[in-house]
Amino acid sequence: MQRITYRVKGSAQGAKRRISHLLRPSKRLLNTKSNIVSSTPTASGRFARTKKLAQVSSIALLSLPAQSLTTMNTKVSAYANVMLQNTLTIAAVPGDSTYFATDGFQHGFGFDLVRTYADELGVDINLKAYANEEAALKALRSGDADMALTTASTKLKSQLNLSSVNVSCGYDSSLTKNGLHPKVSWTFSSPNDPLSKKASYFLCDSIKLKNTQKLAAFYNQNLLKDAYSQDHFQKTLTEKLPDYQSSFEEQARNYNHDWELLVAMGYQESHLDANAVSPTGVRGLMMLTNNTAKAMGVSDRVDPYQSIGGGARYLEQMKAEFADVPKTDRVWFALAAYNMGPNAVKSIQRKLRAQGIDDKSWANVYAYLADNKASNSRYGQAMHYVSNIRSYLESIKTQTV
């Protein structure tokens, strides 16, 4: 079984431990730069872990309907283990509707939803990638994961005696109209486990369901589905990119960016046309305004190397403006700020904070843009700008066109 493991938020925990491991003496290795220190827990330490497990299990029991208490067996719930380990371990299959992870970029429709759920639980994520749905689901069944993120068929999940919750909570059209798989689901070992029940309440809450539908719009997969768009994109990359690739790569190194991200930005801005000019006066491959060009040290906006360098430097500044945003979302904040200015994005963040909403989540910022685009055209432009670049970047990296 081929498996690649990705860690989110620096989680140091491994696969889920069996309860028996908590009740007997064990050794834990602590890795430092050059030394490995072995320590054996004291009896009081083991007692503290066991006590914590009992407390978490009690919380899990209280979260269940009263009638289910009589049918509970003695097996520790997945929810209790997640809370004890402070880590939600996900078995996932890469895909355009689940998650995307290449060259330091880790995001995706299903992945962003899982991150939001983990944040609500107050735990980290340990993402394990599997080659196919069956392998991921078997990992869940064997206890190597707490839940699975897949597009597996109902038949396969039934054969493995697993239960699942569709992330759209039955509103499949909200996914299909955005080119996403209609059956993206979270799968669990038991429908009675609090982890599964809480997930169902989480996904089907009316407010969160609306946000899920907006997130689906951000991860729209239809941008390059029609023949004209595909042909134009491929022709541009084939005929124009070779002339500028070395400049993209060098300027990306200069400003610590992924060079293909800069290419995606260049395609969005000008379709890699170094002589492009807009009616508003922005010019060049990265379509810099005259003021931005001067601030970035660009003397000739139609010089490809200077234009790419100016765009790369400005993007670096935008990333620095949002250094407190988790890395997974920071690039989207930076791109939105690149398009509409950092103060506009920070204004949205302040409004979200005032409502008690996490202002460092791109999903929440995007939802705000979607809700208010009718009253502010800049919001709609920023939405399309960031989602288009995301789509181009994924296409370049996965070579789907």
For 82-133, how does the pLDDT look when each residue is reduced to its tens digit (9 = 90+)? 999 999 999 999 999 999 988 778 899 999 999 999 999 999 999 999 999 9
Confidence of residue 33 (pLDDT cuts 50, 70, 90): very low
Per-residue pLDDT tens over the stretch 37-79: 333 344 455 455 555 555 555 555 444 444 444 444 557 899 9
User: Which tokens sit at 325?
Assistant: 């945003």
Query: Above 50 in pLDDT, residue 24?
Result: no
Q: What is the pLDDT of residue 39?
A: 33
Q: What is the pLDDT of residue 401?
A: 47
Query: Which of 106, 390, 104, 400 is CA-nearest to residue 265?
Result: 390
Q: Please report which helix (H) or strand (E) contains residue 390, including its range.
A: helix 377-398
Domains of the chain: 3-218 (3.40.190.10), 227-398 (1.10.530.10)
Identify the active-site residue in 269, 316, 321, 394: 269
3-state secondary structure of 204: helix
Per-residue pLDDT tens over the stretch 375-394: 999 999 999 999 999 999 99
Per-residue pLDDT tens over the stretch 266-322: 999 999 999 999 888 899 999 999 999 999 999 999 999 999 999 999 999 999 999
Phi and psi at 147, nearest 5°, equal -160, 165
- Between strands 87-92 and 147-150, the pairing is parallel
Pick 200 or 26 by higher pLDDT. 200
Query: Above 70 in pLDDT, residue 31?
Result: no
Query: Does 269 qualify as catalytic in the annotation?
Result: yes
| Predicted structure pTM score | 0.78
Look over the chain and give the mean of its residue pLDDT values, rounded to a whole number: 85
